[in-house]
Amino acid sequence: MDMIIKNTTRGTIVVSVDGRQLTVGSEALLPGFGSPDFVIFSKSIEKWDDEPKGSVTIDERVRLEILESLKHTLAARKLTCEIE
């Protein structure tokens, strides 16, 4: 799975996954004090941003692949995350 982080805000991480865009719900935390840099909300991974309304949701297998890829992509940037 080819993932690129396109944008981060305090509450989202926008990624490109194999050419498709996805907005993942997250919470950016202050560094230090033993906390991760981001908390990722796995349930926010439901549909691709470019899918029409009412389309098929992202299944659990793909969601887990996206989460693993996101963890590796953040780790490559020396950022930590926790999945909820």
Q: What angle do CA 13, 38, 21 make, to 5 degrees?
A: 15
* Across 36-65, average pLDDT: 89
E strands within the chain?
Answer: 3-8, 12-17, 20-28, 38-40, 81-83
Q: What angle do CA 21, 39, 60 make, to 5 degrees?
A: 55
Each residue of 43-57: pLDDT tens digit? 999 999 987 776 778
- State the pTM of this model: 0.87
